[in-house]
Structure 1
Amino acid sequence: MKVKCPACGASMSLDALIGHDEARAVLVELSGISDELVRGCLKYLGLFRPSEKDLTFARVAKLLGGLRPLMQAGQISRNRQSYPAPREAWLWAFEQVLAARDAGKLNRLPLTTHGFLLETLTFWSPDKSSSPVSATLPQQPVQAVQTKLRSGARGLMEWADGTEP
């Protein structure tokens, strides 16, 4: 099945994407993050792309592999101190890092670590979440919501690995 990238218009076979080990690893990492966090996270990951070349699937999988456990833990540790990091904090921090880039405050691009994001998270407090929707919704765990798309993608990945249920 051919799919088209909404950002650049490139066409790619979904079978090739799932059959590619590193691309499949990216999909597995993304399947553990909620939808809104995926959007913010993918925008944030764009800050790791060197201007003269594209990010590889291996690099994206590694970056996501470092973030997902932190998101699921609901807290981070910086300078031997623990800070709360619920879902709303991650959404806020992604927005703040992207705003810093837009304001020219990120002097060294591409980013090489998650340090700036994690340091930004230390400044989060519940009253800083700007989204009125997140303030009115009950706290949702970082565990991904099961959707037909995720179930189908997971089934395709299991089929590609030869580990059908």
Structure 2
Amino acid sequence: MRLTCTACGAHGSIEQFTADTDARRFMDMLLQLPAPVASQALRYTALFRPHKRGLTWDRACSVLGELAAMVKAGAVENYGRSIPASADAFASAMHSMLERRDALKLPLKNHGYLVSILVANAPGQAADREQQTEQQKRSDSQARHRQVESEAERMARMRAELQKAEANRMLRLGMK
């Protein structure tokens, strides 16, 4: 039976895949991932495949090992902050990347894009974005209120000037 690895593009018999130490190590790591992540991980690993050749098993193991470490930690590091991320969040982020594969600059060099998706979708980040949106709305509302207030002040000033001009006119008419 001849197989093609969807992650690295390698061709060979099933015996070749199971005889290679790194290939076995890759499969072992893949099977140890939580089910939602494992279902996306093989195709995600393929995003690291160079254009003109297959992804080496050693590189595939390295990519999968880094991914497994982040999933096991249940968090990603972003600018020194630890952002919690569940296995489902990882699976969803990888699925999102795979759906936009054509828009990605391939091959990927690291997990940076995956991390950025996880950070953007993190519950705390969503709350922060919501808070920023609400704060912006309040700020915009206050600015509009100040603008309306200054408009009202301007109208009051103009009204006072008109009344003064009218009083002066009446005085002049009464004096004649």
TM-score (norm 2): 0.60
Q: 2-side partners of 1:33 and 1:85: how far apart? A: 14
Distance change (3 Å), C-alpha of 1:17 and 1:6: closer
Q: Please name the residue that 1:123 is paired with.
A: 120
Q: 2-side partners of 1:93 and 1:38: how far apart? A: 13
CA contact (8 A) 2:37 2:88 kept: no
Q: 2-side partners of 1:27 and 1:53: how far apart? A: 21
Of the two, which has the highest radius of gyration?
2
Measured after TM superposition, the shift of residue 11 of structure 1 is 5.3
Measured after TM superposition, the shift of residue 31 of structure 1 is 2.0
CA contact (8 A) 2:30 2:38 kept: yes
Q: 1-side partners of 2:101 and 2:51: how far apart? A: 14
Q: Please name the residue that 2:159 is paired with.
A: none
Give CA-to-partner distance per residue, 1:61-120, whole Å, 9 cap, x none.
Answer: 111111101101111111011111101110111022123323x2x2x2111111111111
Larger relative contact order (C-alpha < 8 A, sep ≥ 6)?
Answer: 1
SS in 2 for 1:23: helix
User: Structure 2: any 5+ residue segments left out of the alignment?
Assistant: 124-176
Q: Please name the residue that 2:13 is paired with.
A: 12
Q: Please name the residue that 1:54 is paired with.
A: 54
Bigger proportion of residues as helix: 2
Q: Please name the residue that 2:82 is paired with.
A: 82
Measured after TM superposition, the shift of residue 35 of structure 1 is 3.0
Counting matched residue pairs gives: 120
Distance change (3 Å), C-alpha of 1:33 and 1:49: same
Q: Note if 1:111 corresponds to 2:112.
A: no
Q: 1-side partners of 2:112 and 2:92: how far apart? A: 16
Please list, as runs of the form range in 1=range in 2, the aligned pairs for 1:13-162 lying within 5 A after superposition. 13-14=14-15, 16-102=16-102, 104=103, 106=104, 108-125=105-122
Aligned AA (1:49): R
User: Structure 1: any 5+ residue segments left out of the alignment?
Assistant: 127-165
Give the share of equivalent positions with the same residue, in percent: 28
Measured after TM superposition, the shift of residue 6 of structure 1 is 8.7
Q: Please name the residue that 1:141 is paired with.
A: none
SS in 2 for 1:117: helix
CA contact (8 A) 1:92 1:124 kept: no
Q: 2-side partners of 1:110 and 1:95: how far apart? A: 17
RMSD over aligned Cα, in angstroms?
A: 2.2
CA contact (8 A) 2:26 2:60 kept: yes
